[in-house]
Structure 1
Amino acid sequence: MQENGGRLVQQARIVLDFNWAGAYTKPSPRLYPHQWSWDSAFIALGYATYDTSRAWRELSSLFAGQWSNGLLPHIVFNPELNNYFPGSRVWRTELSPHSPGEIRTSGVVQPPVHAIAARRVYERLLREDSAGAEAFAEQIYPALAAWHGYLHRERDPDGTGLVYIRHPWESGMDNSPLWDGILQRIRLRPGQVPEYQRLDVGFVAEEDRPVDAEYDRYIHLVRHAADRGYDEAAIREDAPFLVWDVLFNTILCAADRDLAALARSVGEDPTSHEAAADATGRAMNARLWDEESGLYLDHDLAAGRDIEVYDALSSLLPLYGGIPDPGRAGRLVHNLESSGFFVGGDGYPAPSYARYGYGYSPVKYWRGPVWINTNWLLMHGLRRYGYEEHAETLRSTIVSLVQRSGFHEYFHPATGRGHGSDFFSWTAALLLDVLSMGDTDHAY
């Protein structure tokens, strides 16, 4: 291990042990008591460095909540806990014939990191127990194939190569300034949003969280999908939020390639997964690349236009999926260096939203703080294209932020102070992954 990492490794494992709920890992002790989808995938990456059996259980627990049409919900609720809003009653997922019976879930998804994590767990298991690796792959591959099948079938009905998201929560970057224009278009009248009591601001500072007007629209979008029985065709007919999202499609492209590798491990044909990854990459370059800015931009399907927000870190993350050619990759790195993400010596890179961007906040959720998971994605993307010095800066930042402030949800980009929830599981898990990089090859 590097950076005298033995103590940090021990602390990170303590965080994960503290949040272990017997079958899954809570993202944090109080604010997020249930199982979250992409959190569990990142958490499994951390467990893969030292406890593959728990990584396996983490993913198995999540996929127990998968719907019969392949949808993998962003929350699988623990029936013994009620201290979260919106809880299972708000989602009304029982209105869908595809929901998983007595297992209560949400009705939206999150970025599909799961095949990426599963491939990593499989490769670790191969070193420990080849029979166990085979059993894991045989269990997880069909569930992953159904999950990706749902996305390509239901979220890309016209076969464009790009899947859409229908709620800001599906982006993973919930209250990013990317969504401001769309949310402002949603005009709510009295009676359109039910009375509710937010619980999040009782656990963390209110200044760190989305404002009430955003939450009103989040719940409105939940009701919109539930009122249509979670039928995707009915939802997209008049959905006010329907977006080709850069980050979501980047991760799907990378995950399809890892799913192809898992298909080979169980003797299945990987061709369809490889073709899907190729189609997504081509479509992102054809439809989401903005030549003038040298960035990838989200596209608002409901309005029929690009979302002209140029300061979201997600615009650079196609590097992770190997999507741009070297020339475009160079332009992305130029933007990284010159747009308030990577200002040398001035704070901590890379904020989720550039510090000079309109709508920036250094403390408010996805409007500017540094998140470990997006730094992790960008680090691997930079390494893929040979930008080793930039990648090393991000690796060192991940370590130094935790050393300075602990295992927080996110961090102030100027001071490094931790914000949001503390004892945050994916911060611990991805730190473990980063600290293991000197011990083993990473193939993301």
Structure 2
Amino acid sequence: MAEHARQILEGNWLGHATRPSSLLYPHQWSWDSAFTAIGYAHQDQDRAETELRSLFSGQWKNGLLPHIVFVDGGGPYFPGPEVWATEHSPNAPRRPLTSGIVQPPVHATAVWQVYRLARDRPRARRFLHDMLPKLDAWHAYLHRERTRIGSALVEIWHPWESGMDNSPLWDPVLARIQPRDGTAPEHLRTDLRVANPAERPTAAEYDRYLHLVALFRAHAYDDERIRAATPFAVRDVLFNSALVQADHDLTAIARELGKPSTKYEDWARATTQAVEDELWQDGSYADVDVVTGEVLDASTWSRFSPLFAGIPAGDRAEHVLDQLTDAMVEVEGLGPAVPSLSRKDPSFDPALYWRGPVWMNVNWFIYHGLRRYGRHDAAASLRTTMIELARKAGFSEHYHPSTGHGHGGAEFSWSAALVLDLLGQPAGGSSVVTPIGAPET
């Protein structure tokens, strides 16, 4: 299994970075690379470090870490650099070309994990030293540009920034946007040519995605102008939970290097409190539409993501863990897993991207959250399911929650990488290896 995973990663290696999938996603994606580096960390320190250094070569002057870094010769993809036109921003790099939006900030978590597992300790320390200012700038951008007066929560301004592109969470927000029909002509969409169209976002959704890109481009990617103009502004549970954990990991990185860490501790504390105060809605964590103040209450897996960051405590934590148990499905012949959307939700579709399938990264977050709260037996069962799912159906982008059949992109990098991470974790019980999301002792 580990050898097969390594072969998938090798097949997607571009010489300095790893594409998620050869045809569907032929460039470098932000949180994909973080997950990929976590997998590499168990096997190849050089590759893990190179993956993250390559991603941060696309970082903007203002700290923004783009969700795509385009690779010369990487292959056709829509929307490509000519659509993003980030040269309109004085902050964007001239090379490499990038997109102009972000993805969930799991990068400090990846850097810390790469460091912790490294065998060449002097080299790893140099890597940590080099990455600290880049991570500092990235987190500072989020806490500075993606918040508004009165809240410590950061905002996403595009569905793609959530990492969960067509989640039903965004349906009521996107419904307010009335783009010109055909903003994203189907003949330009490479995803429809290399994947099953029934498993991809609709034309109406894509028109709205591209409408937002056009808005950002028209405002030259100026955050202040976009903040005032965007019809899509969401305080997202997953994004903020990932940021809390990343701030904790950035604290650990700074302390390891003997650098000041108070700023990062304060960020983590403030965001944690804001998640508890503002995103706990009627007995569950939920996103909030900044424009209308409405709660976005689709039953997605992200309501459990605060467990990864250790956010809930006491009775609230027990309540979320009970909800998580209820949300699990039984994958035929393999065991329990968490689907991207509850089967009870009216938008559930077992094969449609973020509207029902089981994802490896979703269950990786849940696995580490369970371990953080001492639910080792449940974590071990989830670990077994995900490993066996990959063994049965290969390293697919996502899987049918009942049959386990693979869907989406084939030979998917983060599925392979996160299986490597799961294989590197204990099969059951507590571990001498500090789980991701747990404080160092």
Q: Same fold (TM over 0.5)?
A: yes
What is the CA RMSD across the aligned residues, in angstroms?
A: 1.7
Measured after TM superposition, the shift of residue 408 of structure 1 is 0.2
- Give the distance between the partners of 2:128 and 2:432, measured in 1 at CA: 21
Matched, 1:261 2:252: yes
Within 2, Cα distance between the matches of 1:195 and 1:220? 15
Letter matched to residue 170 of structure 2: W
SS of the equivalent of 2:71 reads coil
Alignment partners' CA distance in 2, 1:341 and 1:223:
39
Q: Secondary structure at the match of 1:365?
A: coil
Aligned residue among 3, 17, 21 for 1:28: 21
Residue equivalent to 1:53: 46
Q: 1:241 to 1:81 in 2, by over 3 A?
A: same
1:382 pairs with 2:382:
no
Moved more, 103-112 or 342-351: 342-351
Cα drift, residue 159 of structure 1: 5.9
Q: For 1:54-92, what per-residue CA distance to the aligned partner results, in whole angstroms no more than 9, with x for missing partners?
A: 100000000000000000000000122341000000001
User: Given the superposition, is the C-alpha separation of residues 282 and 131 from structure 1 closer, same or farther in structure 2, using an over 3 Å criterion?
Assistant: same
User: Equivalent of 1:205, from 196, 202, 205?
Assistant: 196
Structure 1 equivalent of residue 408 of structure 2: 420
Corresponding letter in the other structure for 1:341: M
Unaligned runs of 5+ in 2: 437-441
Q: Give the TM-score of the pair, scaled to structure 1.
A: 0.94
Letter in 1 for 2:418: L
SS at match of 2:94: coil
Report the equivalent of 1:441: 433
1:156 Cα deviation from its structure 2 partner? 1.1
In 2, the alpha carbon distance for the partners of 1:349 and 1:403 equals 15
The 2-side partners of 1:351 and 1:224 are apart by 33
Summarize deviations over 1:300-353 as a string: whole Å, max 9, x none: 0011221132x1010111111100112111111222233x43469797521000
Mean Cα deviation higher: 401-410 or 329-338? 329-338
Distance in 2 separating the partners of 1:132 and 1:334? 43
Distance of 2:183 and 2:420 partners within structure 1: 45
For 2:331 and 2:390, the matched residues in 1 are separated by: 20
Residue matched to 2:209: 218
Task: Give the secondary-structure state (helix, strand or coil) at the position aligned to 1:367.
Answer: coil
1:133 aligns with 124
After TM superposition, give the deviation of residue 416 of structure 1 in Å. 0.1
Indicate whether 1:300 and 2:289 are aligned: yes
1:120-152 Cα deviation digits (max 9, x unpaired): 111122xx2221122101111110110001000
The number of aligned residues is 431
Change over 3 Å in CA distance of 1:199–1:138 after alignment to 2: same
Q: Give how far 1:437 is off.
A: 0.8
Using the TM superposition, give the Cα deviation of residue 189 of structure 1 relative to its aligned residue in structure 2, in angstroms. 3.7
Judge conservation of contact 1:336–1:342 (CA < 8 Å) in 2.
no
Distance 1:281 1:343 in 2: 32
How many Å separate the matches in 1 of 2:104 and 2:207? 23
1:370 aligns with 2:358: yes
Tell me what 2:328 maps to. Answer: 341
Match of 2:99 in 1: 106
Identity of aligned residues (%): 49
* Aligned-partner Cα distance in 2 for 1:245–1:11: 35
CA distance in 2, matches of 1:156, 1:351: 30
Name the CA distance, whole Å, in 1 between partners of 2:24 and 2:248.
34
Measure, in 1, the Cα distance between the counterparts of 2:2 and 2:332. Answer: 27
5+ residue gaps, structure 1, are 1-7
Alignment match, 1:397: 385
Residue 385 of structure 2 aligns to which amino acid in structure 1?
T
Pick from 218, 224, 229: which aligns with 1:238? 229
Match of 1:410 among 398, 404, 417: 398
| Counterpart contact for 2:372–2:435, Cα < 8 Å | no
